[in-house]
A = this chain, B = another copy of it.
Amino acid sequence: MKLSTRGRYGLRAMFELARHYGEGPLSIKNIARRQNISEHYLEQLIAALKKKGLVRSIRGSQGGYILSRKPGDIKVGDIIRALEGPIAPVECVRDNDSETCSRTDICVARTVWKKVKDSIIEVLDTTTLEDMCNEEEKIRKEKERFMYYI
């Protein structure tokens, strides 16, 4: 049950954009270098993010990408969904409708997967890019304090 690089790289790229929110566009080359991701590959990921309206592009020289809304309004879940499709450990719990499986035994497994799905979504949809920025700041300060005492 691994997340592919799409989701991982994508989140890192979006985090990079969040860190520089309000400072003008960041180019793919720039993001790719900072996060150590293949440029062309990242291009495709960002295209998917753009399609879902999470980023806006500015074309031409000195162009690049910016978040389409403030970091606090972008959930990690939005990013993962944009890049990996619906969040669901198995197909049969993808949609939230009440379709029941034909066989009870399968349904019981389904109950487990449903719980897993809900718990994943709970985490991803209660964490925003802003939270991640705050977290980073916290870590930075802790490190600083640590250095002080050396």
Contacts and interface: CB of A to CB of B under 8 A. Distances in A.
A74 to B, nearest CB: 13
A26 to B, nearest CB: 13
A28 interface: no
A71 interface: no
Nearest to A140: B104
A104 B137 CA distance: 10
A43 interface: no
Contacts of A84: 1
A16 B105 contact: yes
Interface residues of A, number: 43
B89 A112 contact: no
Given A1-B3, A8-B109, A106-B12, A123 B116 contact: yes
| Interface-central residue, A107, A122, A123, A136, by most chain B CB under 10 Å | A123
B3 A105 contact: no
A42 interface: no
A65 interface: no
A122 to B, nearest CB: 7
25 contacts: A1-B1, A1-B2, A1-B3, A1-B80, A1-B89, A2-B88, A3-B89, A3-B90, A12-B106, A15-B109, A19-B105, A34-B105, A104-B139, A107-B136, A108-B132, A111-B132, A111-B135, A112-B124, A112-B127, A112-B132, A115-B127, A116-B123, A116-B124, A119-B119, A119-B120
